[in-house]
Amino acid sequence: MSRVLVTGGGGFLGARLVARLEADGHDVTVARRADYDLTHREDAERLLADASPELVFHLAAEVGGIGANQAAPGRYWYANLMMGAHVLELSRLAGVGKLVVVGTVCAYPKNTPVPFRESDLWIGYPEETNAPYGIAKKTLLVGAQAYRDQYGLDSIFLLPANLYGPADNFDLETSHVIPALVRKMLSGEQTVVLWGDGSPTREFLYVDDCAEALALAAERYSGPEPVNLGTGVETSIRELAETIALLTGFEGDIVWDTTRPNGQPRRSLDTTRARELFGFEAQTALRDGLERTIAWFREAHRASLV
């Protein structure tokens, strides 16, 4: 049994990871923003002192879709950078045995060749609508590698694809594409307006699969190189919208608002490293995961659905 700290442990991914770790018998401390604001060093110091962890998973982040990133680019850059920097430095000072830092696929350059390989992280600038967030997260990779070199901190950096699943954030102002589509298509409206032209592609990783990947990486991987977590399956936003319409029974009109940005043109990950380094392969097909997500949303919002 290990003493484990999970920052962001009350969140969408964090809750799944905590359940996975507790099932293995670990003593897990869950850090929530209401108790510890990790953008403040004194809160981060207090957290590490309270938890006295041997293993830290840094999941805490401020995240959102294109609209949220456009509305608060400075906040997304600052909050994600400061939280990560504090966790790195204070994990070092506390003598943490291992630190797992969760990055983002948004760190990749806008025109990265598909499939995205970890060696391509530095070939260009990220897609403009989420660049501040992506760059803040990518800076933590540099920090993790530097702390490994200088201080011997066993820190690893993982890059998950777009996550989705039950209990996701379905707030239309801040949600990502899958929960936003599910909510819109179950709202009772006859017309759903979507940003862009539907041509961009994304890769989607079911949240429980991602939690499993984090646990496996912590157990089996120790190295400086970043590692992609995903399915290797590329899906267009148009295809995704049509699939969710079918699964929700939406029979209205889908309108593409081409005055709105598309975001990054394509995203799909090379997941070879994860398979070879710690034996991770995603188990949940997109359609199966969407069915579970839609079923959860119907049950959780039964009273409000028409």
Q: How confident is the model at residue 306 (pLDDT cuts 50, 70, 90)?
A: low
The pLDDT of residue 175: 87
- The residues spanned by each domain of the chain are 3-304
The pLDDT of residue 1: 64
Between CA 26 and CA 118 the distance in angstroms is 31
pLDDT in tens, 281-302: 999 999 999 999 999 999 998 8
Q: What angle do CA 175, 181, 186 make, to 5 degrees?
A: 115
| Whether the predicted pLDDT of 226 surpasses 80 | yes
Q: Over pLDDT 70: what percentage of the chain?
A: 99
Question: Could you identify the residue written with the tokens 């700290």?
Answer: 5
Between CA 232 and CA 45 the distance in angstroms is 38
Question: How many CB atoms are closer than 10 A to CB 287?
Answer: 11
| Whether the predicted pLDDT of 49 surpasses 90 | yes
Residue among 174, 145, 131 at smallest CA distance from 84: 145
Between CA 290 and CA 222 the distance in angstroms is 33
3-state secondary structure at position 211: helix
Measured in residues, the chain has a length of: 306
pTM for this structure?
0.94
Instruction: Return the structure tokens found at 297.
Output: 């949303």
Query: CATH classification of 3-304 is 3.30.470.10, yes or no?
Result: no
Catalytic: which of 36, 108, 133, 147? 133
Contact present, 165 and 292 (Cβ < 8 Å): yes
133 is catalytic: yes
pLDDT in tens, 77-121: 999 999 999 999 999 999 999 999 999 999 999 999 999 999 999
For residue 126, the 8-state DSSP code is B
Between CA 261 and CA 271 the distance in angstroms is 28
